[in-house]
Amino acid sequence: MSVAGKTVLITGGGSGVGADMAWQFAEASARVIITGRRAEALDRVVSRHRAISPYAADVTDEEAVNALFKAAGPVDIVIANAGMAESAPLVKTSLDDWNRQIAVNLTGVFLTLRAGLAQMKGREWGRLITVASTAGLKGYPYVAAYTAAKHGAVGLIRATAQETARTGVTANALCPGFLDTEMTERSIANISEKTGMSAEEAKARLVENNPQRRLIAPGEVSAAALWLCAPGSESINGQAIAIDGGEI
């Protein structure tokens, strides 16, 4: 496999897509470091594969991110996956709500990619990837802060790609639709609580966004990340790749 022997750092690696990516890259013989704020969640992922190591850190804290990369040593692949989602109409979105989502979904990506790129300077090969969302490519109601942050993450990737274009480093965003993960389960619960819908009805509303009428499996995002690290992907740079069954 093309990632054999390479070091991969994945933020938000304790659950969902991050956990699946960690296992997939480890299975492909990479050395994997996962980070997140919940040590117990990281430990559960680490127990699945001996090639995965944990490091508890908050991606919104500049000093913590710098310490993370120092402890990790030289990394070849950086995946900024940590994220959060909250929903509310724009007029009911408080400044605290806004700042919290921008901090995790955009500032955290900035700090992660900046530190990763600094380590890759002067090297012949590197991959910067962020897990954004279809919300980085279109608008959805009641998630204005999340949508704004994900649009920002896509813009950050496109600008970074221009800076790395003449090096061996590429920068790309993966933009899945609604995923079959814990985050979507929380969104479904939130919709049910606020609207009185059953969980099945709330899930059906989300699934309707996908022309294939299903949630996206985490493994589909992991497969795309592995492809971006494989031979033949050298010209894939500055892209926001929708993984959504044809929604975009």
> How far is 159 from 237, CA to CA, in rounded Å?
10
> How far is 178 from 80, CA to CA, in rounded Å?
18
Q: How many CA atoms lie within 13 A of 107 on its CB side?
A: 14
The answer to whether 78 and 116 are in contact (CB under 8 A) is yes
Place of tokens 């994220």: 83
Closest to 155 in 3D by CA, of 238, 235, 216: 238
Burial class (CB in 10 A: 0-12, 13-18, 19+), 77: buried
> How far is 45 from 34, CA to CA, in rounded Å?
9
What are the catalytic residues?
A: 146
Q: What secondary structure does DSSP assign to 52-115, as a single string?
A: EEEEE--TT-HHHHHHHHHHH-S-SEEEE-------B-GGG--HHHHHHHHIIIIIHHHHHHHH
> How far is 84 from 103, CA to CA, in rounded Å?
10
